[in-house]
Structure 1
Amino acid sequence: MVSEWNQIIGTVKAIGIWDILDIVIVALLIYQVIKLIRETRAMQLAKGLILLLLLYFVAYNLNMKTVRFIMQNVVATGVLALVIVFQPELRRMLEHVAQTKLNKLNIFQSSQDKDSELTGVWNESISVIANACETLSKTKTGALIVFERQTKLGEIIKTGTVVDATPSNELIGNLFFVNSPLHDGAMIIRDGRICASGCFLPLSQNYTISKEMGTRHRAALGVSENSDAVVVVVSEETGTISIAEGGVIERNFTIPQLEKRLRHEILHKNEEGQRKQSSVKALLRKVKK
Structure 2
Amino acid sequence: MNLFITIRFLDVLDILLVAFLLYQLYMLIKGTIAFNIFIGLFLVYLFWLLVKALNMELLGSFMGQFIGVGVLALIVVFQQEIRRFLLLIGSNHQVNKLLGMEKLFSSDKYKSASSQQLKLVIKACENLARTKTGALIIFAQKSELKEFVRTGEKINARISDALIETIFFKNTPLHDGAAIVIGNRIVAARCIMPITENQKLDPKLGLRHRAAVGITEATDAIAVIVSEETGKISIAEGGELHLNVSVIDLSNMLEKVFLESNDDV
Q: In which range does the TM-score fall when normalised by the shorter chain?
A: 0.7 to 0.9
Give the corresponding residue for 2:65. 73
Conserved? CA contact 1:147–1:230, under 8 Å: yes
Identity score, percent: 37
Give the Å deviation of 1:268: 3.1
Give the corresponding residue for 2:83. 95
After superposition, the Cα gap between the structure-2 partners of 1:137 and 1:48, relative to the gap in structure 1 and judged at 3 Å, is: closer
Give the corresponding residue for 2:183. 191
Give the corresponding residue for 1:136. 128
Give the Cα–Cα distance (whole angstroms) in 2 for the partners of residues 192 and 201 of structure 1. 21
Give the corresponding residue for 1:39. 31
1:28 to 11, 20, 23: 20
Q: How many residues are treated as equivalent by the alignment?
A: 259
Moved more, 229-238 or 210-219: 210-219
Q: Encode CA deviations 1:112-168: one digit per residue, 9 max, x unaligned.
A: 9777x955x332221110011111112222211100012331011111122222212
Q: Which runs of 5+ in 2 are unaligned?
A: none
Counterparts of 1:194-213 in structure 2, within 5 Å, are 194-213=186-205
Give the corresponding residue for 1:278. none
Q: Which amino acid aligns with 1:95?
A: R
Moved more, 241-250 or 204-213: 204-213
Conserved? CA contact 1:160–1:197, under 8 Å: yes
Q: Encode CA deviations 1:49-70: one digit per residue, 9 max, x unaligned.
A: 3333334444445545445334
Q: Encode CA deviations 1:153-187: one digit per residue, 9 max, x unaligned.
A: 10111111222222122222222222222111211
Give the corresponding residue for 1:177. 169
Q: Secondary structure at the match of 1:42?
A: helix
After superposition, the Cα gap between the structure-2 partners of 1:29 and 1:82, relative to the gap in structure 1 and judged at 3 Å, is: closer
Q: Does 1:109 align with 2:97?
A: no
Q: Which has the larger radius of gyration?
A: 1
2:149 to 124, 144, 157: 157
After superposition, the Cα gap between the structure-2 partners of 1:185 and 1:64, relative to the gap in structure 1 and judged at 3 Å, is: closer
Moved more, 124-133 or 262-271: 262-271
Give the corresponding residue for 2:241. 249
After superposition, the Cα gap between the structure-2 partners of 1:102 and 1:224, relative to the gap in structure 1 and judged at 3 Å, is: closer
Q: Secondary structure at the match of 2:216?
A: helix
Conserved? CA contact 2:32–2:199, under 8 Å: no
Conserved? CA contact 1:112–1:191, under 8 Å: no
Q: Secondary structure at the match of 1:222?
A: helix
Q: Secondary structure at the match of 1:172?
A: helix
Q: Encode CA deviations 1:75-119: one digit per residue, 9 max, x unaligned.
A: 2356655655x2xxx22112212222442233542799777x955
After superposition, the Cα gap between the structure-2 partners of 1:24 and 1:210, relative to the gap in structure 1 and judged at 3 Å, is: closer
Q: Which amino acid aligns with 2:133?
A: T
Give the Cα–Cα distance (whole angstroms) in 2 for the partners of residues 148 and 110 of structure 1. 17
Q: Which runs of 5+ in 1 are unaligned?
A: 276-289
Q: Does 1:218 align with 2:215?
A: no
After superposition, the Cα gap between the structure-2 partners of 1:268 and 1:112, relative to the gap in structure 1 and judged at 3 Å, is: farther
Counterparts of 1:10-29 in structure 2, within 5 Å, are 11-12=5-6, 15-29=7-21
Conserved? CA contact 2:33–2:198, under 8 Å: no
Give the Cα–Cα distance (whole angstroms) in 1 for the partners of residues 231 and 40 of structure 2. 45
Give the corresponding residue for 1:146. 138
Give the Cα–Cα distance (whole angstroms) in 2 for the partners of residues 222 and 144 of structure 1. 12
Provide TM-score, normalisation by structure 1.
Answer: 0.77
After superposition, the Cα gap between the structure-2 partners of 1:166 and 1:112, relative to the gap in structure 1 and judged at 3 Å, is: farther
Q: Which amino acid aligns with 1:109?
A: E
Q: Encode CA deviations 1:195-244: one digit per residue, 9 max, x unaligned.
A: 11121212222344324322222221221221121111112222211111
